[in-house]
Amino acid sequence: MLTFLSAAQLLVGLSVAFVWIFRFDNIIRDFKQFGLSDLTRSAVGASKIAIATLLVAGIWFPSLILIPAVLMGLFMLVAQYFHNKINNPMIKRLPSLVLFLLSLFIVLVSLNYISI
C-alpha cells in the first residue's frame, strides 16, 4: 500500500530526477541566469539525483529517508533564494517551493512530529 510518506518520497524523487535528466535545457538556462558556473550546476545536479534516488530507496529502507529529505529541503531553500535574487515570477518559484514543503513533510514524519 502506498502511504502519504511514500507518495511524497516518490513525488520529490521522481520530480527532481525528471527535471535534471529530461529538462536539462531549462536547468542550463536557470543556472546562467543565477550567475552560477557549469561546475556548480554539475555538482548540484549529481547531488540532487543521488538524493532523489535515496529518497525513493527509502520507501524500502526507511533508515535512508531523513538525511536525504533534509538535504533536498536545503537545496530547495537555496533554489528559492536564487529565484528571489533574480526576481523570478512566482510560477518559476512554485516547483521548488512545493518540493521544499514536501521535503519538510518527509522530515517531520521521519522524526515522528507528524503521524500519518
Closest Cα partner for 31 from 39, 97, 90?
39
Q: What percent of the chain has pLDDT over 90?
A: 97
Closest Cα partner for 26 from 4, 45, 46, 2?
45
pLDDT at 1 over 80: no
At 28 the pLDDT is 97
At 14 the pLDDT is 97
At 79 the pLDDT is 97
Task: Give tens-digit pLDDT for 67-107.
Answer: 999 999 999 999 999 999 999 999 999 999 999 999 999 99
Interatomic CA distance for residues 72 and 60, integer angstroms: 19
Closest Cα partner for 45 from 79, 69, 70?
79
Interatomic CA distance for residues 64 and 42, integer angstroms: 23
